[in-house]
């Protein structure tokens, strides 16, 4: 910030000794009264002679001649005036009224000069910061957070010196104090392209997506063309840590500038943690339900040999086991449906309902295998089965509702 001292302007009355052959300015010096009379007489005689010439020309109809003579006299008067004006300018050094050295006018007034860049994204904020610093130097404390600034006559789009009126208010309530001053603001042209970010640092959860363009607040190029922006970073939101994103702007002439953003990856978001806790609780509940179903299945029915099973081989045969489980659990004596893979088609032909959704009390038909379903998980993704022919004997287990890789599900038979 600079300070200019401007004195009060006042008129300066001067008397200039000039040697003149005609008198629009008061003559001073050593001329005698007689010399003055001669000059006055000469001037009078010249005027009389000129007037007589004009009358003669008008008498004989020479109008053009009269006009030419009048223009010549007017030109002489204009030249005399300019000579006088130039003489005053030579002596005073200015064509405006100025304060003479040692003048008794009012004391000089300080005018603060503030400097801004044409690329400043918040010029009023920068002006306020400078003005608050000036007040601090005067012992006046102003809070930047609550104070406001208005700048009358300021145009951020114009470079050079601007005369403005600044008004700084210390607060928004009625008890606030206002400081007003006439100042000069110099806006300098910034030839370097500029990129400003919304912040210097951000925190990201590791389940979030980093979007670099979301943090660009302002770009500037004094040519008016939008500069090219390039962004590079090493941000990995899957791993906690501190990363850096660099924004580079390049103008048409190859000039560059950079801004950096610090990215802190701080871990899972509260929403992700809540979802994880819910999933863990649901898994625990399903595990408990499965354990209870297993215990109930083991305690309720002990499948044996009814003696009416159309299949042979006992529990070493899966078809024998599925038929026996249905008979002993539901009291239904099914016909022979053939080999395991044929059970869905045979059941449909016999009038039984079939589908792809597991139900407790249904028969699960897989490629090359059948089993009896005793219970289904809450989400329907798995079911608890009783089966024969599992490693050559009776077995109970949880299995996916879609079967296994080697034995995918064909369908379910409902009773």
Regarding predicted confidence, which is higher, 1 or 122?
122
- The H-assigned helical ranges of 214-317 are 270-300
The pairing of strands 178-188 and 109-117 is parallel
Residue 333 has pLDDT above 50, yes or no: yes
Question: Do 200 and 166 belong to one domain?
Answer: no
Question: Per-residue confidence at 100, pLDDT binned at 50, 70, 90?
Answer: very low
Q: What is the pLDDT of residue 14?
A: 36
How far, in Å, CA of 324 to CA of 297, rounded? 15
Q: Evaluate whether residue 290 is within a structural domain.
A: no
Question: Do 88 and 153 belong to one domain?
Answer: no
Cα dihedral: 119, 124, 130, 133 (round 10): -150
Q: What is the pLDDT of residue 16?
A: 36
Q: What is the pLDDT of residue 78?
A: 55
Helix (H, G, I), strand (E, B) or coil at 252: coil
Residue 366 has pLDDT above 90, yes or no: yes
Question: Which H or E run includes 219?
Answer: strand 216-220
Nearest of 207, 257, 208 to residue 228 by alpha carbon: 257
How far, in Å, CA of 303 to CA of 142, rounded? 90
Task: Indicate left, alpha or beta for 399 from its phi (over 0: left) and psi (-120 to 50: alpha).
Answer: beta
Question: Do 126 and 205 belong to one domain?
Answer: no
Question: Per-residue confidence at 210, pLDDT binned at 50, 70, 90?
Answer: very high
Question: Do 202 and 178 belong to one domain?
Answer: no
Mean pLDDT in residue range 295-320: 77
Q: Evaluate whether residue 278 is within a structural domain.
A: no
Question: Do 346 and 409 belong to one domain?
Answer: yes
Q: Evaluate whether residue 97 is within a structural domain.
A: no
How far, in Å, CA of 110 to CA of 2, rounded? 10
Q: What is the pLDDT of residue 171?
A: 78
Mean pLDDT in residue range 307-323: 92
Of 188, 207, 223, which closes a domain?
A: 188
Q: What are residue 224's phi and psi, to 5 degrees?
A: 90, -10
Residue 219 has pLDDT above 90, yes or no: no
Question: Do 51 and 144 belong to one domain?
Answer: no
Mean pLDDT in residue range 82-109: 44
How far, in Å, CA of 105 to CA of 101, rounded? 10
How far, in Å, CA of 36 to CA of 403, rounded? 135
Output the 3-class SS for 71-135: HHHHHHHHHHHHHHHHHHHHHHCCCCCCCCCCCCCCCCEEEEEEEEECCCCCHHHHHHHHHHHHH
Q: What is the pLDDT of residue 89?
A: 45
Helix (H, G, I), strand (E, B) or coil at 26: coil
Residue 124 has pLDDT above 60, yes or no: yes
Q: What is the pLDDT of residue 255?
A: 82
Residue 406 sits in a domain whose CATH number is 3.90.1720.10
Q: Over pLDDT 70: what percentage of the chain?
A: 68
Q: Evaluate whether residue 320 is within a structural domain.
A: yes
Query: What secondary structure does DSSP assign to 374-400, as a single string?
Result: EEE-TTSSEEEEEEEEETTEEEEEEEE
Spatial contact of 261 and 244, defined as CB atoms under 8 Å apart: yes
Question: Do 166 and 82 belong to one domain?
Answer: no
Q: Over pLDDT 90: what percentage of the chain?
A: 40
Question: Per-residue confidence at 272, pLDDT binned at 50, 70, 90?
Answer: confident
* Both tokens assigned to 32: 């005698």
Least confident of 45-49, 158-162, 184-188: 45-49
Question: Which H or E run includes 366?
Answer: strand 363-366
Spatial contact of 355 and 380, defined as CB atoms under 8 Å apart: no
Q: Evaluate whether residue 102 is within a structural domain.
A: no
Number of domains in the chain: 4
Q: What is the pLDDT of residue 46?
A: 53
Q: Evaluate whether residue 300 is within a structural domain.
A: no
Question: Per-residue confidence at 316, pLDDT binned at 50, 70, 90?
Answer: very high
Question: Do 183 and 204 belong to one domain?
Answer: no
Nearest of 269, 216, 264, 223 to residue 240 by alpha carbon: 264
Spatial contact of 385 and 400, defined as CB atoms under 8 Å apart: no
Question: Which H or E run includes 185?
Answer: strand 178-188
Of 92, 121, 148, which closes a domain?
A: 92
Question: Do 73 and 155 belong to one domain?
Answer: no
Mean pLDDT in residue range 370-377: 96
Winning range, highest mean pLDDT, from 25-39, 42-56, 102-116? 102-116
Residue 141 sits in a domain whose CATH number is 2.60.40
Residue 174 has pLDDT above 80, yes or no: no
Look at the block and give the residue holding tokens 């007037």. Answer: 51
Is the Cα torsion angle 341, 342, 348, 350 positive or negative in sign? negative
Nearest of 153, 175, 149 to residue 164 by alpha carbon: 153
Q: With 0-12 CB in 10 A as exposed, 13-18 as middle and 19+ as buried, what is 172?
A: exposed
Regarding predicted confidence, which is higher, 107 or 240?
240
How far, in Å, CA of 38 to CA of 27, rounded? 13
Q: What is the pLDDT of residue 23?
A: 39
> What's the number of CA atoms in the CB half-sphere (13 Å) around residue 411?
14
Q: What is the pLDDT of residue 406?
A: 93
Mean pLDDT in residue range 390-414: 94
Q: Evaluate whether residue 408 is within a structural domain.
A: yes
Question: Do 125 and 204 belong to one domain?
Answer: no
Cβ-proximal residues to 253 (8 Å cutoff; 6+ apart), any chain: none
How much is the mean pLDDT over the chain?
A: 77
How far, in Å, CA of 114 to CA of 2, rounded? 7
Question: Do 169 and 218 belong to one domain?
Answer: no
Question: Do 340 and 394 belong to one domain?
Answer: yes
Regarding predicted confidence, which is higher, 22 or 287?
287
Least confident of 113-122, 126-135, 300-309, 386-395: 300-309
Q: What is the pLDDT of residue 103?
A: 38
| Residue numbers of the domain that contains 347 | 305-414
Q: Evaluate whether residue 147 is within a structural domain.
A: yes
Of 265, 297, 315, which closes a domain?
A: 265
């Amino acid at each position: 910030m600079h300070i200019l001292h401007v004195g009060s302007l006042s008129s300066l009355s001067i008397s200039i000794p000039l040697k003149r052959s005609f008198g629009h300015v008061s003559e001073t010096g050593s001329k005698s009264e007689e010399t003055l009379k001669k000059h006055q007489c000469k001037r009078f005689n010249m005027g009389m002679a000129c007037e007589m010439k004009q009358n003669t020309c008008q008498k004989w109809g020479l109008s053009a001649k009269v006009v030419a003579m009048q223009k010549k006299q007017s030109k002489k008067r204009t030249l005399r005036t300019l000579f006088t004006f130039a003489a005053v300018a030579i002596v005073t050094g200015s064509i405006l009224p100025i304060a003479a050295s040692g003048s008794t006018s009012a004391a000089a007034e300080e005018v603060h000069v503030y400097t801004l860049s044409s690329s400043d994204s918040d010029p009023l904020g920068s002006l306020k910061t400078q003005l608050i610093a000036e007040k601090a130097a005067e012992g006046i404390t102003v809070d930047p957070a609550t104070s406001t600034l208005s700048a009358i006559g300021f145009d951020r789009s114009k470079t050079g010196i601007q005369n403005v009126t600044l008004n700084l208010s210390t607060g928004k309530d009625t008890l606030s104090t206002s400081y007003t001053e006439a100042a000069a603001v110099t806006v300098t042209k910034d030839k370097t392209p500029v990129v400003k970010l919304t912040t210097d640092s951000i925190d990201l959860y590791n389940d979030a997506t980093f979007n670099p363009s979301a943090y660009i607040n302002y770009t500037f190029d004094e040519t008016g063309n939008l500069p090219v922006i390039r962004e590079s970073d090493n941000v990995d939101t899957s791993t906690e840590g501190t990363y850096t994103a660099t924004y580079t702007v390049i103008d048409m002439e190859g000039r560059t500038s950079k801004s950096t953003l610090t990215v802190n990856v701080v871990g899972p978001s509260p929403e992700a943690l809540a979802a994880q806790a819910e999933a863990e609780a649901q898994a625990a509940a399903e595990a408990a339900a499965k354990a209870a179903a297993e215990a109930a299945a083991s305690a309720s029915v002990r499948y044996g040999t009814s003696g009416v099973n159309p299949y042979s081989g006992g529990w070493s045969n899966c078809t024998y086991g599925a038929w026996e489980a249905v008979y002993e659990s539901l009291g239904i004596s099914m016909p022979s449906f053939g080999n395991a893979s044929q059970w869905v088609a045979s059941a449909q032909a016999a009038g039984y309902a079939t589908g792809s959704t597991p139900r407790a009390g249904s028969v699960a038909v897989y490629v090359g295998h059948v089993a009896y379903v005793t219970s289904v998980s809450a989400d329907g993704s798995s079911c608890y089965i009783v089966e024969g022919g599992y490693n050559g004997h009776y077995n109970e287990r949880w299995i996916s509702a879609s079967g296994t890789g080697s034995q995918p599900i064909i369908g379910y038979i409902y009773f």
